[in-house]
Each structure stands twice: as structure tokens, then as C-alpha cells.
Structure 1
Amino acid sequence: MQDHLSLFFKIQICRSEQMKWIVPGALMALLGAAFAHSLIWGLIFLPYYLFSFIRHRPPLKILLPLILFAVFFYIYGCCTFNSQVTNLNGDEKTLPLKIVTPLKINDKTASAQAETVNGEKIQVRFYLPKDTPQEQISSITPSNCTWKGELEAPSPARNPYLFDYQHYLQNLSIHWIFTVSSIHDFSDCVPLSLTTIEKLLLKRDHGMNRVERIFPVSLQPVAKSLLFGDRSDMDEELLEAYRRLGVIHLLAISGMHVGMVVAMLWQLLLRVGVTKENVRFSLLAALPLYAAMTGGSPPVVRAVSSIIAVIFFTMVSKKITLLQALCITFIIQLLINPAVLSQVSFQLSYTVSFSIILSAPGFLKASSKLFAILKVTTVAQVGSLPILLFHFHETSIAGFFTNLFYIPLFTIVLLPSLFILYFLSFFNQELTYFLSLGLEAGVSLLNKVSLYLSSFPYVVLVFGKPSYFLVMVYIGLSLLLFFFLEKRIFVKPALLLLIALTVDWLSGRYSLQGSILFIDVGQGDSILIDLPLGQGTYLIDTGGAISFGDEQNSFSVGKEIIWPVLKGRGTTSIDRLILTHGDWDHIGGTVDLAAYADIKEVWISPGSYEKETVSDMLTELHELSIPVFEVQAPYMWTAGESLFELMYPHDEEYTGNNDSLVVKAEIGGLEWLFTGDLEAEGEAELMERYPSLSADVLKIGHHGSKTSTTEAFLDQVDPDYAIISAGAKNRYNHPHSDVVSRIEDKEIVLFGTYSHGAIDYQFQGKKGTFRTIFPYDGE
């Protein structure tokens, strides 16, 4: 490890006159491709352009070619994006498909990418019948199949800050998801001949199957991850732990892994008598195969192609620096697919690589391995900071220290051991299994330590999603820091970056603007009230995915919807969680959310603890030391300029929907009435107790069921706005047409999560505006 680091830190960024155009050329390619994506994308990268031209100062004679280079990539990018259209109209019920990629199996569903006869890529999805034989599933690929099913467009994100599956598939030129009606009949599937790349992908699948045969069960996920770049078997909790510790990059095949593989092959071939010239030829042939076998992710392609470029130019006696090699691979990847620019792995891979290479001549020299790793980690963290905050809204503090231990462990021990054991398995499987038991014990201990360390508070700092302008500021400050590091000036630029981070962190918690967000949790309720200047954060209900019959729904609303929304807003704690009643679609996300957010206290409806689902939840909340209170009306409290009143229920007997906690609030210049699942009987009692009850905004009870929102209730409350929280295309057909008609007849403005996605009322002082994810007139 010391030899490799010493070699790396001795690299000097020399300037070869013949290759001087490459670095500014890569930046101009970035400029053109970024503007092809959008105007804001082009402006975001402006600090990079300025920094590059100040640093490299290209001669005037190549300025015009560089400008033409940017124009070419702009036109090329626009043409590429405009050509990504579908040949299908969505009405097709039967499709002949070419299935090449291995199936990804998740619980009772399986999916794969396929091609139509016209060469258009689509995502295929089908549901696996109970006890479907594994060999029957495996026989589907590779083959040509004709299946019946339904085409549907991928769903866009229905909430702010969530993963946009539609955008992800569009970057892969996929416009449709084809849900197969039945896979019982395989008579229409016939084997097909494969291209070289498809054969390599199939070999990769066979290699992962071999891992399952030769390694102990608990070692298989990390072996697949490090050998083949597949993390699909990794436990979600463990992945989250590695992410919080800032070492998740070690579980993906990256430049460090590729460099280690090249070093091992180089030494091995030299020791068996192969000449250096033949070693280079061998690497040129083997590295593309290795990239394909490991999934061809952007970091792998970047590392492999950079090494190939260095080897090639060395063989033809041309001077090329590592920075220039990296720029060549960058240009090639944009030529292959300009859309790769929007991939997070691509952004992180190149940003971190550029940061390390630019810092290598001066800052990264170190007298010890640990200090060298600490410097590399610092540079990588600073360089990747704008990307991490924009996409993940947080940064790991622990990563500065955990990498000191994890990087040597993975590169010196774990990765070489797995390679050796895997190749040994071709000669003696019994010995391989016996030796892997020791490695399994070490990995199990490492996983336990990782889970323990990740549980500490402040392992990560959540900032919230920065604005585009703030991203530009972070990029500029990061580049400024690297510029001064070359001059051995550390304190002032680091202080500037620290000030920007502090201001950003505080602004997310003490914003002048408040918000009431109706989160789209599908068929359920979840309403986030975030008051300005840190005056209070309240959450009414947490949704919950409902199972039907024997279905087992593993989807976690708290973890996969509510927490990302909170994190994107920079919110990590909830002052009060109000669970209106005990139905699963209102409390189901609570426990999972409590694992991420700091919940100060929980309110439940009197007597609801007798319900089994509530009782189980309370047991887990007790283990987390979260206080729970049964509350009943009347109760009032204030928070800043906002006033809250618990209006219902008034007794301790729990009867279900009609004992929902009902809260009235004066927030942002409007009166709000949150009714949970209150039905006609509860509405009548509420009107009787509060004859002058009124509100500007009414959260419609029970998702717009016909048993709620009576004519009399609407007349008395007399709202200007009504909001219904219900799942799109839900099984209950909520909201009921009668309820919608009553609302529309009274000319009340109606919003619904089923049609508008998340609904956000943003306010400052007494003025505010409603905003929806989808346009008001529909999706």
C-alpha cells in the first residue's frame, strides 16, 4: 500500500505541448453537454470553466477550436436527447421481446430490461407465482419471448426530494414499463444468440451464481459487491450504516479497486516471466473485459479507460499525465452518452478523481500512510461536497476518520482475499469454503462494528437540499480551497467553506419561511407543519402501506417517503408527532421514521392503545425512549405567531375513525382544520360542540369516503380550500364522487394528493401560496 501511495503522490502534472488542449477541451465538452441538459446545468458548472482557464491558460490559437468543441457537444447533446422518443403508443397488449439482462428478483416480483423488435428498450416487470422454481425463472433470459401485458409510463416523483424513477429510466432511454400478465407459459420463449457484450453480462451473472455456491451465506453479499459490482443482496440497514460512516464507496467497484486489480495482475505476470511489453498488451485486452464483468458503472469505466489511455500513450512514446488521461475518458463517455452527465456515480467519480489529481503535487504528500489516507479523504470529501449535498442532502462527518481504518482493510485485506479465494475455487471448492469461513467471521465482526458506530449521533450532518445558486457557491469555494492548497494556504479558504456550511445548516432550521406539506404517502395521511424561525415542527400521521390478504408489503413509508422529505428540507427532529387514530394507513410509518428522525413526543387518541397495531408500535417507541401521551380535547398551545387547538375527541372511549384527533390551527394567515378520518357521526358531534366552527382550509376526513364530509359539515365550516389525501388509483376508489361533487358545487378549490402529488402551502408572515408537484389541472 505504501509503494502504491508513494507512486501516486509522486505524479507531477506536467504540461505536454502536444496534449495541452485536452484539459480545457474536456471542460468545453462539459460546457456543451451541460447546456444541452438545461440552462441551469450549464451555469452550475461555471466555476469549473473559470478555474480551468485561469489555471491552464490555453493559448489564443486554440480558443476558437475549443469554442467549436463546446458547440459540437451542445448540438450533439440536444440531438441525442431529442432522439430519445418512443415508437410505442401505450395501447399494445402483446409484445415480442428480447430478454438479455439477468432478472432482478425482489420479493414476489421480478424485472429486467428488454428490447422490442424495433430496438426500443423497455422495463419488464412481472409477479412471481408462489413456489416458482428458480430454474424456471432463470430460463427466461436470454431468450426471445412474446408476452401479454399492460404498458404504463414510469411514475415521476410524487413528493419533493424523492428519487425520480421516471427521470432515471428516461436517462436510460426507457419510456415504458411492461407488466406481464402471466409467466406460466414459456412455450413462446426461444433461446437467442448473444453479442459479445451480452455474453460478458451473462458470464457476470454466472460468476455471481458461483459466489453463491462457493462462499458462506453471510459473505456472499460483500463478495458480489467487491467482485462483480452488485450490491442488490446487501442488507439495507448495513448499507445505510456504511453510508452514514462515509465508506459506502468501498462497497462499489471504483478506481481504487481497479488500481488494485491492475497492480496484482502486473506483479503476477512479471513474476511468472512475462515481459513488460506483453503485460501491457495483456492489460489492454483484459481491462475492457473486467469493466463489462463488473457491470460497466461510470467509476469502473472511468478507471479502466484512464489506465488504458496511460498504457497506450506509454507504448507509443507519448507524454500524457494522469489528468489528461482522465480528461480523454471524460470526453469519450460524453460522446457515448451525454445523459451520463446526470448520473450521480459519474459526477462523484470524476469530481473526486479531478480533486485528488489536482491536489497531488503539493497537498497530498505525506510522511505516513495514515496521514496520506486522511489527506486523500479530506480532498475527496471537499470535492464531492456539492454533489453529496445536492443529491443526498447530507455529508458524513465520520468519514474523515473511518476511512483511515476501512480503506487499508478493504484494499489490503478484503479485496485481495476475495479475489484469491474466488480463483482458488476453480481448483478446490472445499478448501475455498474452509478458508472463506475465517474471512466470513472477520466480515461479520466488521458489519457489527459498522452498525454500532453508525448509531452514534452526529455521524452525519443533514443540511437539506441546497439551491442551484448555493451549489455554485459550494463548487466555487471548493475550487478556491484547492487553488490555495497548492500555495500551502489552508486556514482562510477552509474557514470560508466552513462559514458557508454553517450558514446553510442554520438556514434550513431557522428559515424565515414556513410550510404546511401534505405528503403523498399513497392511501394514507401525513402532514408536515414546519413553522418559520425554528418555532416548531409537527407531523400529523405517518401513512403506512396496507397489505391485502396474504400480501406482504415490505415498503416502508416512514423510511422511503417521509424521511427523505424531511431530510431534503433539512429537518431532523419532530417536536410533536400527532397520530390521529390507530389505523395502519395513519401510523404505519412511525417506527421506521423514529429510526432516523428525533421524535420528541407522540400523541395518540385516548384508548387507541388497545388496538393491536398501536400496542405493538408503542412497545417499539418505548424501547426508543420516545414519550407517548394519550390526549383529549380541549387543549391549546401557541408556537410563535401560530395558534393550535385540539378540538376532538372529548371522551376516553376509542371507537375508531370517529375518535380521530382533530386539530384546528391558525398558520400563515389561514385557519386550518385537520380531521383525520372523522366521519359523519364525528362531524355532527364536532358541530354540536363548536356551533361557530369555520376554517379557510379543510383537510377532508377519511380520504374523501362517502361516509364523511356531509353537506351540513361543509356548510358550517365553509372552507375556501379542501384537501384530500388519497392514493392514486387506490382500491377503495377514494375520493367518492358524491364528496367531490359536494365540494365542487360549493365552488371550493379542491386539491388531492391522488391527482396533484404532494401539496405544499409555503408562507411568510400572513401571506402564502399553494404549490403542487403536478400542475393544478392534472398530471
Structure 2
Amino acid sequence: RVSIASILLNLWVGFFIALESFAAVFAVFLAQISGILAFPFIKLTEIFNWILLFAPKIFVENNWASFRVPVYSGQIKAVYFIYFTPVLILTIALNVWKPFSMNSKFKIQNSKLWLGGAAFIIVIFPLLIIFHPFSAPALDGKLHVDFLDVGQGDSALVTFPNGETLLIDGGGKINYGASYVEKEDDEAEMFEPDVQAVGESVVSEYLWEKGYSRIDYILATHADADHIQGLIDVAKNFRVRAALFGRTPMKDADFAALYEVLQSREIEIIKLKRGDVLSFDEAKIEILFPVADESTQAVSDNNHSLVLRLIFGNKKFLFTGDIEKETESKLIENPLFLEADVIKVAHHGSRTSSTPNFINAVKADYAVISVGRQSQFGHPHREVVERWENSGAKILKTGERGTISVSTNGKNLEIQTFIP
């Protein structure tokens, strides 16, 4: 990430730190004589401190103050080499020209042509680095589903054969236990670990590594922190066409934070319900749950997760959010809609989900469990793993294999894992 305001802010901070330091020193010395004499300098120190912090805060809280330099991969990495070509040309030219030598007799012929060419190169190649028009993966006619390793959470990137992208959940961090409190009064200071958000350090990094600057759709299965928090960073870092939800629980703090970002960036919000079908040329998504609820007070907990089935050719993927046995029992009333080759196992493999009847209805060949390497909740539960294995499904855990990538041409499945 490159901050376009960093030079200005460093000058700003340096200047006001100097002023604040002088005011503080005078306040300390004058306080030895009289508190009244020291008071103006104490206030001046506070004012300088406020000014010192105010300007950087404006830039930090607004995404326009910085931009992300993309990562090129494959043969297109040659752009990085070409980018430094002007530096090489300039070095050779200066060595030949020797402009600071008193005896230099070298004169550049066609100087306008040289200057024009140099200006073109200096402008064009930085633009290639910043806007990366060639960095997005080439289309291969396949459907790609990448289950990201976001620890105790869910996130999956779907790349459709036509090139459109859908990010299902974005992972997130959960605060286990109370924060440290320094003192028990109304002015108590709260301290939380300075941990970089999963949406920034994992999900966004992965998307940048893939060469994306735009994600067509983001979808939150429900409003739990380990599913929705990461989408906040993604919505800030990427151009997003629309956000998809089953429920819009405005009282939920994480959802409200995401909603605010979507509104500020003018991202369209689309509500989904059971029976909806989304088409992406030859691929489609069927929404199996929940039923419609337009209320802003609607519940968006585990059992109201969006459940969707992704279909391309004769291959099917089932995404179940964190649904539990109560919702599974409703879904198996229409078992034909549950059959899938690959399932994202509900609720990280908790024994609150994956009932025998549900597993039998899905008939999956692969069961992907999105879970941390050492889950604090004991996920996945041994009984759940055994149930899926006994059904004939191969278990793939993100905590053990890293990112799990599944691709299909509509007839066959290809599985790749970051850790073999």
C-alpha cells in the first residue's frame, strides 16, 4: 500500500512535534515557579497535540489517501523489469553525456524526440504498475472456487467462467473474553490486542495477489463476525458492483459497519431469498434459504444463514453458512435441491450441524471444512468428521491444507491445496 499523503504528513508531524516539545519544556520549567505561568504553555501543548493528531486522522480514515500497488504474476511480471527501463536508459545517457563535465562535447541529437520518448515511458509504466490492466487472471472457461484459509471463519472466492467474481463471506476476528481494563470507573481505558484484520491481511492480500482490483459481488451468509468483518476491508479496498444479503440486521454492529462502508462507496445492496436464481452465463446460483424478511430488525444468526447452491454443467457446490440442525431439517424436505459434489460444511464442522439425514441428502464427494488449525471451539468435531467420511466424502480442512482451490469445466473436478 502506497500512501500519497505520507510526505506531507511526515513534515506535518515533525513540525508540530517540535512546537509541542518546546511548549512542554517551557511548561515544565515555569511550573517550578508558578502554576499560573505554566498554564498557558500546558494548554498550548494540548492544542499542538490535537493539531498533530487531527490531520493524520483525516487521511487514515479515508481510503483515498493511499492506493494499493498490485501484484503481477506469471509472464506479465516482466512489467516490473520494463518499469525500471527508464532508469537504465537515464543512467547510460548520463554516463555518455557527462553533463557536469567541463569538457563534455556530447550533444543529444533530436532532443525533442528524446524528451518526448522519455516522458512517455516515465508516465506510462507507472500507470501500468498502479492500474494493472493486464494483471487479472486469464479466462479459461472453467468455474473456480477458492476456499480461503482465514482461520476460525469462512471466506470463498468464486470466479465464474465469464470472469465475474463473487466473494462469499470475508472471515474476521472474534474477541474471545473481555478486553483489559486499566481502572474501574467511567474513564476506564480499554485495550485490545493490535491484530491486523483478516479482511486486510488475508482476504485482500489474496485478491491482490490474484491481480484483482475489482470484485463484482460480495455476499455475507449472515452477520457473525467471523463471516462479515472481512467484507468491510474488501469493500474499502476494491471496487465492488453489489453486495448480497439474506437479512439486513441494522442493530448488529458488524453489519452496520459494513452497511456504512457500502453506502459511502455507493455500492448497490441486493437482498436474496429462497427461490431466487442468479445467472452468470452458463453458471447459476440457487438460493435455498432463508425466506424473505424485509425488516431491518430481522435476525441474521446461524440458523438464518444464506444457503446457496452453485451449479455449472453437471457439477454442484453447496454453501451452508453456519446453519444448524433446525435449518437442515427444513432443507431436507426438498432433498433434490441439496445434492452437491462439493459442500462447504456448516458451522466449521460443529456437531450442532451435519446431521446424518442432511449428509445423506447432500451426497457430497468432497466436504470442505473452513476452520483454524487449532480451533478454540474444538472444530471440527470428531463425530462430524466421521459422519462425512462414512458417507464417502473426502475431508479437506483449510486449517491443514491452506487455501483449497476447486475448478471444473462442468464435467470434471480438479482439486489443488496450498499444502499437499
Could you tell me the TM-score, scaled by structure 2's length?
0.72
Deviation at 1:621, TM superposition (A): 4.5
Q: Contact (CA 8 Å) 2:151, 2:399: kept in 1 or not? A: yes
Question: For the residues of structure 2 that align with 1:620 and 1:421, how far apart are their CA atoms?
Answer: 36
Question: For the residues of structure 1 that align with 2:83 and 2:213, how far apart are their CA atoms?
Answer: 26
1:560 maps to amino acid: S
In the TM superposition, what are the counterparts of 1:172-191 in structure 2 within 5 Å? none
Q: Deviations over 1:15-35 (max 9, x none)?
A: xxxxxxxxxxxxxxxxxxxxx
Question: For the residues of structure 2 that align with 1:438 and 1:615, how far apart are their CA atoms?
Answer: 36
Deviation at 1:476, TM superposition (A): 4.5
In the TM superposition, what are the counterparts of 1:373-412 in structure 2 within 5 Å? 406=8, 410=11
Match of residue 691, structure 1, among 322, 336, 342: 336
Q: Contact (CA 8 Å) 2:72, 2:135: kept in 1 or not? A: no
Structure showing greater relative contact order (alpha-carbon pairs closer than 8 Å, 6 or more residues apart): 2
Deviation at 1:523, TM superposition (A): 1.4
Question: For the residues of structure 1 that align with 2:249 and 2:386, how far apart are their CA atoms?
Answer: 36
**1:670 — aligned with what?**
315
Deviation at 1:444, TM superposition (A): 4.2
Residue 612 (structure 1) aligned with residue 252 (structure 2): yes
**1:456 — aligned with what?**
64
In the TM superposition, what are the counterparts of 1:638-653 in structure 2 within 5 Å? 638-650=279-291, 652=293
Q: Contact (CA 8 Å) 1:603, 1:628: kept in 2 or not? A: yes
2:64 maps to amino acid: F
**1:538 — aligned with what?**
166
Residue 729 (structure 1) aligned with residue 374 (structure 2): yes
Residue 474 (structure 1) aligned with residue 80 (structure 2): yes
Q: Contact (CA 8 Å) 2:289, 2:306: kept in 1 or not? A: yes
Q: Contact (CA 8 Å) 1:759, 1:770: kept in 2 or not? A: yes
Deviation at 1:588, TM superposition (A): 2.9
More strand by share: 2
Residue 507 (structure 1) aligned with residue 134 (structure 2): yes
Q: Contact (CA 8 Å) 2:309, 2:338: kept in 1 or not? A: no
Tell me the SS of whatever aligns to 1:750: strand
Question: For the residues of structure 1 that align with 2:338 and 2:16, how far apart are their CA atoms?
Answer: 71
Q: Deviations over 1:376-425 (max 9, x none)?
A: xxxxxxxxxxxxxxxxxxxxxxxxxxxxxx39x83xx8658867987998
**2:418 — aligned with what?**
773
**1:529 — aligned with what?**
158
Identity of aligned residues (%): 28
Q: Contact (CA 8 Å) 1:525, 1:541: kept in 2 or not? A: yes
Match of residue 447, structure 1, among 49, 52, 56: 56
Tell me the SS of whatever aligns to 1:688: coil
Q: Deviations over 1:607-661 (max 9, x none)?
A: x627634664466346524444442110112223322111222354758323221
Deviation at 1:440, TM superposition (A): 4.5
Question: For the residues of structure 1 that align with 2:119 and 2:394, how far apart are their CA atoms?
Answer: 51
CA RMSD between the two structures: 4.0
2:135 maps to amino acid: G
**In structure 2, do the counterparts of structure 1 residues 473 and 565 end up closer, same or farther at CA, with 3 Å as the change threshold?**
closer
Question: For the residues of structure 2 that align with 1:568 and 1:578, how far apart are their CA atoms?
Answer: 21
Tell me the SS of whatever aligns to 2:134: helix
**2:402 — aligned with what?**
757
Deviation at 1:748, TM superposition (A): 1.9
Match of residue 550, structure 1, among 163, 178, 188: 178
**In structure 2, do the counterparts of structure 1 residues 763 and 512 end up closer, same or farther at CA, with 3 Å as the change threshold?**
farther
Q: Contact (CA 8 Å) 1:695, 1:719: kept in 2 or not? A: yes
Deviation at 1:524, TM superposition (A): 1.5
Q: Deviations over 1:538-586 (max 9, x none)?
A: 1212222222332456643323322222222232333322221232322
Q: Deviations over 1:20-65 (max 9, x none)?
A: xxxxxxxxxxxxxxxxxxxxxxxxxxxxxxxxxxxxxxxxxxxxxx
Question: For the residues of structure 2 that align with 1:480 and 1:764, how far apart are their CA atoms?
Answer: 43
Tell me the SS of whatever aligns to 2:358: helix
**In structure 2, do the counterparts of structure 1 residues 508 and 472 end up closer, same or farther at CA, with 3 Å as the change threshold?**
closer
Q: Contact (CA 8 Å) 1:547, 1:553: kept in 2 or not? A: no
Question: For the residues of structure 2 that align with 1:545 and 1:604, how far apart are their CA atoms?
Answer: 20
Match of residue 147, structure 2, among 480, 494, 518: 518
Q: Deviations over 1:162-187 (max 9, x none)?
A: xxxxxxxxxxxxxxxxxxxxxxxxxx
2:88 maps to amino acid: F
**In structure 2, do the counterparts of structure 1 residues 419 and 774 end up closer, same or farther at CA, with 3 Å as the change threshold?**
same
Structure number with greater Rg is: 1
1:516 maps to amino acid: V
Tell me the SS of whatever aligns to 2:177: coil
1:754 maps to amino acid: G
Deviation at 1:725, TM superposition (A): 0.7
Q: Contact (CA 8 Å) 2:20, 2:49: kept in 1 or not? A: no
Count, aligned residues: 369
Tell me the SS of whatever aligns to 1:671: strand
**2:212 — aligned with what?**
571
Deviation at 1:688, TM superposition (A): 1.5
**In structure 2, do the counterparts of structure 1 residues 641 and 736 end up closer, same or farther at CA, with 3 Å as the change threshold?**
same
**2:275 — aligned with what?**
634
In the TM superposition, what are the counterparts of 1:284-303 in structure 2 within 5 Å? none
Q: Contact (CA 8 Å) 2:307, 2:321: kept in 1 or not? A: yes
**In structure 2, do the counterparts of structure 1 residues 437 and 485 end up closer, same or farther at CA, with 3 Å as the change threshold?**
farther
Tell me the SS of whatever aligns to 2:158: strand
Tell me the SS of whatever aligns to 1:508: coil
Deviation at 1:512, TM superposition (A): 1.5
**1:583 — aligned with what?**
224
**In structure 2, do the counterparts of structure 1 residues 648 and 467 end up closer, same or farther at CA, with 3 Å as the change threshold?**
same
1:517 maps to amino acid: D
Match of residue 714, structure 1, among 324, 335, 359: 359
**2:203 — aligned with what?**
562
Question: For the residues of structure 2 that align with 1:602 and 1:655, how far apart are their CA atoms?
Answer: 16
In the TM superposition, what are the counterparts of 1:82-231 in structure 2 within 5 Å? none
Question: For the residues of structure 1 that align with 2:254 and 2:53, how far apart are their CA atoms?
Answer: 34
Deviation at 1:596, TM superposition (A): 2.5
1:612 maps to amino acid: D
Question: For the residues of structure 1 that align with 2:14 and 2:83, how far apart are their CA atoms?
Answer: 35
**In structure 2, do the counterparts of structure 1 residues 715 and 473 end up closer, same or farther at CA, with 3 Å as the change threshold?**
same
**In structure 2, do the counterparts of structure 1 residues 544 and 467 end up closer, same or farther at CA, with 3 Å as the change threshold?**
closer
1:456 maps to amino acid: W
Q: Contact (CA 8 Å) 1:543, 1:558: kept in 2 or not? A: yes
Tell me the SS of whatever aligns to 1:637: strand
Q: Contact (CA 8 Å) 2:5, 2:59: kept in 1 or not? A: no
**2:302 — aligned with what?**
657
Could you tell me the TM-score, scaled by structure 1's length?
0.41
Match of residue 386, structure 2, among 735, 741, 764: 741
Listed as ranges, the gaps of 5+ residues in structure 2 are 31-37, 94-110, 180-191
Question: For the residues of structure 2 that align with 1:417 and 1:632, how far apart are their CA atoms?
Answer: 55
**In structure 2, do the counterparts of structure 1 residues 560 and 549 end up closer, same or farther at CA, with 3 Å as the change threshold?**
same
Q: Contact (CA 8 Å) 1:582, 1:611: kept in 2 or not? A: no
Q: Which moves more between the two structures, 466-475 or 543-552? A: 466-475
Match of residue 483, structure 1, among 73, 89, 92: 89
Question: For the residues of structure 1 that align with 2:407 and 2:256, how far apart are their CA atoms?
Answer: 36
Q: Contact (CA 8 Å) 1:512, 1:764: kept in 2 or not? A: no
Q: Contact (CA 8 Å) 1:462, 1:572: kept in 2 or not? A: no
Listed as ranges, the gaps of 5+ residues in structure 1 are 1-239, 251-405
Tell me the SS of whatever aligns to 1:682: helix
2:329 maps to amino acid: A
Question: For the residues of structure 1 that align with 2:58 and 2:251, how far apart are their CA atoms?
Answer: 37
Match of residue 237, structure 2, among 596, 601, 610: 596
Question: For the residues of structure 1 that align with 2:327 and 2:165, how far apart are their CA atoms?
Answer: 27
